[in-house]
Amino acid sequence: MALYSTAMEAVEAYTGLSPMAFFTILAMMVVTYRIVCTMFVHPEDHSTSASKAVDPSASFQPPAEPVQLGDVTEEQLRAYDGSDPTKPLLMAIKGQIYDVSRGRMFYGPGGPYAMFAGRDASRALALMSFDPKDLTGNIEGLSESELEVLQDWEYKFMEKYVKVGQLIP
């Protein structure tokens, strides 16, 4: 009991507050601290709780390994232009079809080269043209240097993407 009254006297002497006022303020500070703590979530905790909340089937995950398509017509290739998020993004150069899904930023909907998806874009690439009339695999009448440009694109695609099929007439 002597210890209690010594402590209360010390509180009063050091803070100039009555023990009642001192403990009320202390309790309010603890409550405020706890409220403020709940406002700041650790980034890792946040991402774990966020990823738990997301239904994995709700967002499309492209298949890890590109699926081989084999022979398809230009008409069938159109279905792979990114409008169906469950299908891979495909694009052809000189009749060879590549899975460009990993280049979704380029060829996906809203991407700068979205118009090439689902198409054989040989002529457009050879001419470095965005003109819709050049969105064709027809490379008739191209000059030597334009064919060289196209060849460079083909090498780039062979290196970067997996070939999944070829166009048939």
Residue 129 touching ligand HEM (CB under 6 A): yes
When the beta carbons of 130 and 155 are compared against ligand HEM, the nearer one is: 130
Residue 125 touching ligand HEM (CB under 6 A): yes
List beta partners, residue 163. 98
Among the listed residues 112, 107, 131, 134, the one whose alpha carbon sits nearest the alpha carbon of residue 123: 134
Among 28, 29, 50, 130, binds ligand HEM (CB under 6 A): 130
Residue 97 touching ligand HEM (CB under 6 A): no
| Choices 31-39, 40-48, 68-76, 123-131; region in contact with ligand HEM by CB under 6 A | 123-131
Among 62, 69, 106, 154, binds ligand HEM (CB under 6 A): 106
Q: Which residues fall within 8 angstroms of residue 88, CB to CB, at 6 or more apart?
A: 62, 63, 66, 67, 80, 99, 101, 164
Please list, residue by residue across 55-77, b when 16 or more beta carbons sit within 10 angstroms of its beta carbon and e when fewer do: eeeeeeeeeeebeebeebebebb
Residue 128 touching ligand HEM (CB under 6 A): yes
Could you count the other beta carbons within 10 Å of the beta carbon of residue 125? 24
Residues near ligand HEM (CB under 6 A): 103, 106, 113, 124-125, 128-130, 160
